[in-house]
């Protein structure tokens, strides 16, 4: 399960996955490797999930294990996990994207340091401690998990939105303004399209982070696949623990794949 980065990042450093560093693929070989990854990754994930389904249907389980390790229970827990992830993702994007845009406007930059510090603190804090702190303020339940995960997952979207907009060539912005475009039109037609690749990477990383950290939601009554891991640890049920970990990792990889597909097709034409 995700525990978050060990340290905060510098103010202008975007959050990127290890294989996103550097330039985008420009050769036929690199592009072919990227396409193969987009094809192979979901196939492998679906095969793993199918393998889990076959295992729980044929394995010899004790009564306690059989209570959760059955197809109906796993489907219900997976749906709960996806519900938590989806609601949190909507909140994270609804907060991180407009706030990131706002903090790059000249008249609002004075508010950037405290917001960045708060976002860094939210993710630098241990995930379990953050969720428990929110539970102490709100009580346990679904929405408590949503609030805690939203605080924890907003940083990549916020940071990459700011960085993507600030990396846009200033001469392009000045040219647009010189042609008579308003500040709002320049943002919508020049800045945001140019910043799309970096922004989408931040959203994808937020989603993967949320999926992994949602494994802790059962600690505060949030539900989801983390229930398998928590029960497995508490009762020393290795089969249940492994199945839960494999399913959560598979969901994270599947969400990562969906994000990469969106990045590939949403990237404006002409951007490498």
pLDDT in tens, 8-62: 344 445 555 544 544 344 444 456 667 777 888 889 999 999 999 998 888 888 8
φ, ψ dihedrals at 2, nearest 5°: -75, 135
Region 90-108: mean pLDDT is 91
Q: What's the pTM value of the predicted model, to 2 decimals?
A: 0.81
The CB density around residue 227, as the number of other CB atoms within 10 Å, is: 21
- Which domains, from first to last, does the chain contain? 27-266 (1.10.3720.10)
Where does the pLDDT of residue 205 fall: very low under 50, low under 70, confident under 90, or very high at 90 and above? very high
Residue spans of alpha helices (H) in 139-191? 142-166, 170-178, 183-186
Where does the pLDDT of residue 247 fall: very low under 50, low under 70, confident under 90, or very high at 90 and above? very high
The CB density around residue 26, as the number of other CB atoms within 10 Å, is: 9
Residue 248 has pLDDT above 90, yes or no: yes
The CB density around residue 80, as the number of other CB atoms within 10 Å, is: 20
From the DSSP assignment, how many helices (H) and strands (E) are in the chain? 11, 0
Strands of the chain, DSSP E: none
Supply the pLDDT for residue 107: 81
Tokens for 222, please give them: 């949030």
The burial of 110, by beta-carbon neighbours within 10 Å (0-12 exposed, 13-18 middle, 19 or more buried), is given as exposed
CB 246 within 8 A of CB 52: yes
């Amino acid at each position: 399960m995700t525990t978050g980065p060990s340290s905060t990042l510098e103010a202008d450093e975007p959050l990127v996955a290890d294989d996103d560093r550097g330039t985008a693929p420009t050769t036929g070989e690199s592009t072919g490797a990227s396409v193969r990854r987009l094809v192979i990754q979901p196939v492998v994930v679906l095969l793993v999930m199918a393998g889990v389904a076959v295992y729980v249907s044929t394995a010899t389980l004790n009564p306690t294990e059989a209570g959760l390790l059955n197809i109906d229970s796993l489907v219900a827990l997976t749906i709960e996990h996806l519900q938590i992830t989806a609601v949190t993702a909507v909140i994270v994007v609804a907060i991180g994207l407009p706030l990131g845009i706002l903090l790059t406007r000249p008249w609002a930059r004075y508010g950037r340091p405290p917001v960045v510090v708060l976002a860094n603190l939210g993710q630098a804090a241990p995930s379990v401690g953050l969720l428990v702190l929110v539970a102490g303020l709100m009580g346990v339940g679904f929405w408590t998990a949503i609030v805690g995960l939203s605080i924890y997952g907003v940083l990549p979207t916020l940071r990459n939105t700011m960085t993507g907009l600030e990396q846009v060539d200033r001469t392009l912005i000045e040219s647009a303004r010189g042609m008579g475009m308003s500040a709002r039109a320049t943002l919508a037609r020049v800045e945001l399209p140019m910043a799309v690749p970096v922004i989408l990477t931040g959203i994808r990383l937020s989603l993967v982070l949320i999926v992994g950290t949602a494994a802790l939601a059962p600690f505060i009554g949030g539900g989801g696949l983390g229930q398998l891991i928590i029960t497995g640890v508490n009762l020393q049920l290795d089969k249940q623990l492994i199945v839960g970990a494999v399913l959560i990792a598979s969901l994270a990889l599947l969400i990562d794949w969906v994000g990469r597909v969106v990045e590939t097709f949403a990237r404006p034409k002409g951007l490498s």
